[in-house]
Structure 1
Amino acid sequence: MTSSLAEFSKAAQGLSRNPLGIIALFIVMVYGFAALVTTFADSLSATEKTPLIYFLVIFPVLVLGVFAWLVSTHSTKLFGPGDFKREENYVELMSATASLTLASVKREDTASAAPDIQSIVRSVQDAVPARDIAAARKQALWVDDSPGNNIDERHAFEAVGLQISLALSTDEALAAIERQSFALIISDMARKEGPTEGYVLLEKLRERGDSTPFLIYASADSQELRAEARHRGAQGSTNSAQVLFRTAMRIVLG
């Protein structure tokens, strides 16, 4: 019993270092009280049990809703310096993590699952280069006819030093590639030009002998789509903001 209390105290100290941990502690405390009440449920009448049942059903949904609201409106306030191994880069890392979290919330079905915050933090930590990306002037070209849909993803990249150039069409992308070289190209799939315009751009580049790493960031994802993208010469295909960030940074830093 003493050992369990000591372990809980240690875990509580770790969680209390940032707002997310405090929220988690609050949830544990509330459910702890609910568990105590449930222990004595046999002595409760049906009328007294009803509010408890409603609470146990509604509370998780309410917590998920509040969490989604916090991430959407106050994402930059959810992390503390202790969340990051390199605290001297706290501002940049926090900005990248917040943007990537918000992008994940927008992409995922928040009714079924919340983003894995610790996994996102680790992805951003791993992206921090041994050398300075900004000093190396690494640039990526992002091709999408609706750039407003990926603002948060681009902010996450820019926060760790990767410069992003935009192109709204295949022709605009090809013109940009003729003017300068890029460390990476990220493209959507369907555009006004056609439903598989991402592949059209990829094919034109490869026909030219251009081997610039190419990632497809689309609305759909499956093992078949990933295999098809690799078969056509892309380095990957995903609809996950976190997977995109992790894969792109591995390419840029490699």
Structure 2
Amino acid sequence: MTKPLADFSRAAQGLSRNPLGIIALFIVLVYGFAALVTGFTDSLSTTEKAPLIYFLVIFPVLVLGIFAWLVSMHSTKLFGPGDFKSEDNFVKLMSATASLTLASVKTEDLATAAPDVQSIVRSVQDALPAQGVAAARPHVLWVDDCPENNVNERRAFEAVGLQISLALSTDEALARTESQSFALIISDMGRREGPREGYVLLEKLRERGSTTPFLIYASADSQELRAEARRRGAQGSTNSAQVLFQTAMRILLG
């Protein structure tokens, strides 16, 4: 194998490790074939050369448009395991993305939720090492009398390095906060104890002097509910898994 071919083979192997490299390799090959074809066009008429000329002009514009769409809508799909410092980080990213996507399906359309979820999780993965959050493993208290309803949400948080403890009632949550500290508390609203038990827990915590950030994750959401939650001392209220994840990470990353 000659040196140019050997160099191309090594470059091709490197490019084929992730989708972005495969796109680049495809472009190189297309233009390589185009260059070979142009060498045999001397005998062709202007009309016969026109398709090739149009192709050489339109193809880069088309590629640029597709590339811009991929970067803006499917950025995490452009990377492979080898692009991460360790394959564990790649696995965590995929796990968090899958879990948060499944959680989002409850209130949002999967086709529109997936690209946003990937972008959210990737940005969190990028921020965690810089802030030291992954090493510190912040502890989150999740209060819900039906924890099976938010399994995927918790998996998404755990996949990016958070610890999650569960409490099934207001009394259990208060007891836990007395024995240990938490970086964040996430609570549902209605429980067996009452239809607005989330606010009951929040009020008791604030009466004790607790300033732990508090988020409401309930089945309903509106501007009025969000305003009431903030007025009572919570940092937010939502029924969207994506909004919950983003808000929680904004709080934890400071």
Please give the root-mean-square deviation of Cα atoms over the aligned residues, in Å. 2.7
The equivalent residue for 1:8 is 62
Alpha-carbon distance in structure 2 between the residues aligned to 1:115 and 1:201: 34
Q: 1:119 aligned to 2:95?
A: no
Match for 2:245: what amino acid?
F
The equivalent residue for 2:193 is 193
Q: How many residues align?
A: 192
Alpha-carbon distance in structure 1 between the residues aligned to 2:235 and 2:58: 47
The equivalent residue for 2:145 is 145
1:151-230 → structure 2 map (5 Å cutoff): 151-230=151-230
CA displacement, residues 24-63 of structure 1 (integer Å, 9 cap, x when unaligned)? xxxxxxxxxxxxxxxxxxxxxxxxxxxxxxxxxxxxxxxx
Alpha-carbon distance in structure 2 between the residues aligned to 1:242 and 1:16: 21
List gaps (5 residues or longer) in structure 1: 22-78
Alpha-carbon distance in structure 2 between the residues aligned to 1:114 and 1:220: 22
Q: Give the structure-2-normalised TM-score.
A: 0.68
Judge conservation of contact 2:104–2:113 (CA < 8 Å) in 1. no
Alpha-carbon distance in structure 2 between the residues aligned to 1:87 and 1:10: 25
CA displacement, residues 68-126 of structure 1 (integer Å, 9 cap, x when unaligned)? xxxxxxxxxxx646189x73321111111111111001232x4xx73332321221122
Flag as ranges the 4+ runs of structure 1 deviating above 4 A.
1-4, 10-17
Q: Give the structure-1-normalised TM-score.
A: 0.68
Judge conservation of contact 2:167–2:173 (CA < 8 Å) in 1. yes
Match for 2:59: what amino acid?
L
List gaps (5 residues or longer) in structure 2: 1-53
**Alignment partner of 1:237: what SS?**
strand
Alpha-carbon distance in structure 2 between the residues aligned to 1:163 and 1:199: 24
User: 1:12: Cα distance to partner?
Assistant: 5.0
Judge conservation of contact 2:215–2:237 (CA < 8 Å) in 1. yes
**Alignment partner of 1:117: what SS?**
helix
Greater Rg by CA: 2
